[in-house]
């Protein structure tokens, strides 16, 4: 497919150290410390990049966009995510390092999500049928989409991450997204990952370049199903064993990302029921990353190879603010943008 550039992003705005008007979220970080995600300065989400975790830049969007967000970034500075117009509810898009936005192909049905990108610019995620059934897909560097295969007796799947060797991880199941954590190997074969003891279903959220995988497992019919056993953060080791990662004293934890040193990040419930962003060391020790002053919960979304963690701190009204945690645990509120740029008259 041909690439179409839809114009540059905005100018840069200072990031400076504290919450201000508007909401935001940090979803990904690369080895250069560039952080990406979304901001909500007014109506709708806008895709944003904090260069080096400092200056905030609004990224280009397709014509007539009403919502857009970055979900993944690689070390070359290429981003991917989704954009939305009135006619297209969720289009998969990729931003080049120079800021040009390209719409990638979709499968029939049109609704897509993007959840992983590797150093070569290969992207993974899921496309939904018109009936709402998700299927795991891979986009090549040119934006061409390929549906990934399914294990026998499975009808739904999600692709959540891809490493530099092209190994993809996610979930596949018979219905309703319940089922097994799976790995799509570079040779095209599919491996169902071992289920932790007493677990009924699981999802693999991330894989590092060593092949270590992290995610969530639960004995409930659905992940985090109300009234069922809450999900537990798990790590699938390269020797085939599964390790449960500790909570903060509560009954739930979820692992979202892992770096090449084996550091894992996600969220965990404390004994008082509150939820905090956490970091697990390669040895499995858990650390509460805390919240911004006045907020009540937080979550960590991604970690880079330098140990920088990004995510959100959340107030009592469930409003999010993008944050960054330095390797020493110092928490930084990423700067906000000015109000949404005006629509052309």
Each domain of the chain, given as residue ranges in start order, spans 12-333
**What does the pLDDT average to over 28-36?**
97
Q: Residue 69: helix, strand or coil by DSSP?
A: strand
Q: Residue 50: helix, strand or coil by DSSP?
A: strand
Q: Is the pLDDT of residue 17 over 50?
A: no
Residue predicted with more confidence, 41 or 118:
118
**What does the pLDDT average to over 9-38?**
69
Backbone conformation region of residue 13, classed left if phi is above 0, alpha if psi is from -120 to 50, else beta: beta
pTM for this prediction: 0.89
Q: Is the pLDDT of residue 222 over 60?
A: no
Residue predicted with more confidence, 228 or 262:
262
Q: Is the pLDDT of residue 226 over 50?
A: no
- Which class in CATH covers the domain with range 12-333? mainly beta
Predicted local distance difference test score (pLDDT) of residue 198: 83
Q: Is the pLDDT of residue 4 over 50?
A: no
pLDDT tens profile 271-330: 999 999 999 999 999 999 999 999 999 999 999 999 999 999 999 999 999 999 999 999
Question: Which tokens go with 325?
Answer: 């945690």
User: Can you tell me the distance from the alpha carbon of 192 to that of 117, in angstroms, rounded to the nearest whole number?
Assistant: 22
292-312: b or e for each residue (b if 16 or more CB lie within 10 Å)? beebebbbbbbbbeebbbbbb
Query: In the sheet that 275-280 helps form, which strands lie side by side, from edge to edge?
Result: 249-258, 264-270, 275-280, 286-288
User: Can you tell me the distance from the alpha carbon of 200 to that of 180, in angstroms, rounded to the nearest whole number?
Assistant: 8
Residue appearing with tokens 């795991």: 136
Q: How confident is the model at residue 2 (pLDDT cuts 50, 70, 90)?
A: very low
**What does the pLDDT average to over 197-221?**
91
What percent of the chain has a predicted confidence (pLDDT) above 70? 86
Query: In the sheet that 111-117 helps form, which strands lie side by side, from edge to edge?
Result: 111-117, 123-128, 134-139, 145-147
Q: Is the pLDDT of residue 134 over 60?
A: yes
Closest CA to 70 of 329, 259, 333, 310: 310
Window from 34-48, 81-95, 107-121, 223-237 with minimum mean pLDDT: 223-237
**What does the pLDDT average to over 39-58?**
86
Question: Which tokens go with 6?
Answer: 């839809």
Q: Is the pLDDT of residue 88 over 90?
A: no
pLDDT tens profile 188-205: 899 999 998 888 889 999
Longest CA pairwise span in the chain (Å):
61
pLDDT tens profile 136-158: 999 999 999 999 988 887 889 99
**What does the pLDDT average to over 341-345?**
33
Do residues 248 and 240 make contact, with C-beta atoms less than 8 angstroms apart? no
Q: Is the dihedral of CA 154, 155, 160, 162 positive or negative?
A: positive
Beta strands in 142-248 (DSSP E): 145-147, 156-162, 168-175, 178-184, 190-192, 201-207, 213-218, 232-236, 242-244
Predicted local distance difference test score (pLDDT) of residue 53: 86
Q: Is the dihedral of CA 55, 8, 111, 119 positive or negative?
A: negative
Predicted local distance difference test score (pLDDT) of residue 248: 97
For residue 255, how many other CB atoms are within 10 A of its CB? 27
Q: Is the pLDDT of residue 9 over 70?
A: no
**What does the pLDDT average to over 30-57?**
89
């Amino acid at each position: 497919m041909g690439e179409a550039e839809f114009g540059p992003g905005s100018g840069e705005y200072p990031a400076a150290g504290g919450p201000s008007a508007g909401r935001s979220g940090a979803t990904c970080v690369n080895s250069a410390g560039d952080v990406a995600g979304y901001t909500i300065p007014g109506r709708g989400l806008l895709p944003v990049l904090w260069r080096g975790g400092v200056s905030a830049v609004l990224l280009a969007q397709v014509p007539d966009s009403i919502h857009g967000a970055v979900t993944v970034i690689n070390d070359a500075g290429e981003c991917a995510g989704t954009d939305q117009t009135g006619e297209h509810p969720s289009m998969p898009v990729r931003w080049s390092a120079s800021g040009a936005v390209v719409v990638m192909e979709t499968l029939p049905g049109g609704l897509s999500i993007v959840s992983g990108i590797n150093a070569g610019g290969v992207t993974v995620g899921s496309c939904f049928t018109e009936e709402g059934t998700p299927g795991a897909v891979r986009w090549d560097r040119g934006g061409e989409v390929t549906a990934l295969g399914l294990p026998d007796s499975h009808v739904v799947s999600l692709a959540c991450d891809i490493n530099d060797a092209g190994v993809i991880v996610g979930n596949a199941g018979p219905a309703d997204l319940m089922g097994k954590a799976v790995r799509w190997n570079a040779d095209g074969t599919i491996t169902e990952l071992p289920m932790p003891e007493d677990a009924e279903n699981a999802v693999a959220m991330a894989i590092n370049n060593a092949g270590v995988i992290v995610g969530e497992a639960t004995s409930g019919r659905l992940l985090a199903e109300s009234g069922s056993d809450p999900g537990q953060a798990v790590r699938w080791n390269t020797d085939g064993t599964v390790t449960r990662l500790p909570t903060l004293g509560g009954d739930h934890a979820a692992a979202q990302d892992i770096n090449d040193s084996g550091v894992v990040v996600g969220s965990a419930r404390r004994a008082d029921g509150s939820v905090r962003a956490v970091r697990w060391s390669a040895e499995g020790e858990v650390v509460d990353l805390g919240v911004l002053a006045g907020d009540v919960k937080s979550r960590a979304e991604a970690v880079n190879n330098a140990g920088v963690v990004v995510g959100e701190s959340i107030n009592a009204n469930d409003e999010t603010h993008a944050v960054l945690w330095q390797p020493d645990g110092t928490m930084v509120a990423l700067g906000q943008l000015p109000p949404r740029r005006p629509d052309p008259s």
